[in-house]
Structure 1
Amino acid sequence: MDEAISSGKTPWHLWVVGIVSLLWNAIGAADYTFSSLRSQAWFEMMQYPPEGIAYLEGFPAWAHGGWALGTIGAFLGSLLLLFRSRYAVWAFAISLVGIAITTLYEAGTEVPPELAEIQPAWFPFLLWGIAILLLVYSVRMRAKGVLR
C-alpha cells in the first residue's frame, strides 16, 4: 500500500472511503438544506412529525450554525478527500466543531418523543464515530502525502 502512495497513485481505499462518506454526508447536507428551506416535500418524505418540525424551527441561530457547519463541512470534506486536497482535514475538523455545537444544544433541550422515534438514541454516537474516523483518516492520508 505504501508503494502505491509513494508512486503518486491514489490508494484504492481512498476512493471507497471518499465515495461512501460522500453518500453518507450528502444525506446530512440534504437534511440540513431542505429543513432550513422548510421544504414540506422533504418533511413528508422524511416523515417528520409536526412536533419535530417545530423543534427544528426553534433552534437558536448558534445551534443552527452548528448544524450547518457539521453537515456542510462533512460533505465538503468528503468532496475534498476525493479531490485529494489537504483541506479535507480542515473541513472534517470544522464538521466536528459543528457537531459539538449541535450536541451541546440538543443536550440542553427536550427532544420531542415524536422526533426521537425517527432518530434513535444511538444515532449521535454513530454520527460522532463516523466524523472522528473521517478526520483521523484524512489526517493519515495527508501525513502519507496522498492529500496535496
Structure 2
Amino acid sequence: MYYDTPWHFWPVLTVAFIWHLVGVIDYTATQYELEFWLAMATERQLTFIDSMPDWVDGGWAIAVWSGLLGVILAAFRTNFAPLVLSISFIATLVVTIWLVTVSDPSLTEIAGWPGAAVMAGACVMALLLWLYARAMHQEGVID
C-alpha cells in the first residue's frame, strides 16, 4: 500500500534518472570507444582511462548501472531500490578513492580539480539518493 506521494518524489527521481543516464552514456560510450565522445578527452586522459585496472572499470560499471536501475526501481516503488542504490554509492566511493588517491597519475593530475570535483559530486549524489530512497522506503512511499 502506498502512502501519499510527497511533492518532491518525482522531481528528485527525474533529476536522479537524468544524472545516472548521463553516467551510463559516459561509461558505454567510453567502453565502445565512440569517437564523438572520446574527442572531448586529451590523449593523456584516454591513456589514463585505458590503463585503469579491470576492477576499477568494473566498479565504474556497477556504479552507473546500479544507480540507473535503483532509480527505476524507486520509480516503480520496489523495496529493493535502497539496496541497489547503496551498491551504487559504495561502488562510486571506491572508484573515486582509487582515482583520486591511489592511481598514479591521479585523476587530479590528469583532469585537474574539476575532474576530482565531478567524482566528489558523484559520491555526494549517490549517497544522498540512497538516503532519500531509504527514507521513502521507511515512510512507505517505496514499498
TM-score (norm: length of structure 1): 0.85
Equivalent residue number for residue 18 of structure 1: 13
Q: Which deviates more from structure 2 when the two are superposed, residues 134-143 or residues 120-129?
A: 120-129
State the number of aligned residues: 141
> Which residue type is aligned with residue 30 of structure 1?
I
Gaps of 5+ in 2: none
CA deviations on 1:89-142 (whole Å, 9 max, x unpaired) are 111111012112212321211136784159443222211111111011000000
Equivalent residue number for residue 32 of structure 1: 27
CA contact (8 A) 1:70 1:95 kept: yes
TM-score (norm: length of structure 2): 0.87
> Which residue type is aligned with residue 108 of structure 1?
V
Give every structure 1 segment of 4 or more consecutive aligned residues whose post-TM-superposition deviation is greater than 3 Å. Answer: 6-9, 111-115, 117-121
1:61 to 2:54 alignment:
yes
Match of 1:82 among 67, 70, 75: 75
Match of 1:70 among 63, 82, 85: 63
Q: 1:21 to 1:143 in 2, by over 3 A?
A: same
SS in 2 for 1:93: helix
Aligned-residue identity in percent: 27
CA contact (8 A) 1:66 1:97 kept: no
Q: 1:145 to 1:7 in 2, by over 3 A?
A: closer
Gaps of 5+ in 1: 1-5
Equivalent residue number for residue 121 of structure 2: 126
Equivalent residue number for residue 108 of structure 1: 102
> Which residue type is aligned with residue 80 of structure 2?
Y
CA contact (8 A) 2:13 2:71 kept: yes
Equivalent residue number for residue 3 of structure 1: none
Structure 1 residue 7: deviation in Å?
6.5
> Which residue type is aligned with residue 102 of structure 2?
G
CA contact (8 A) 1:52 1:114 kept: no
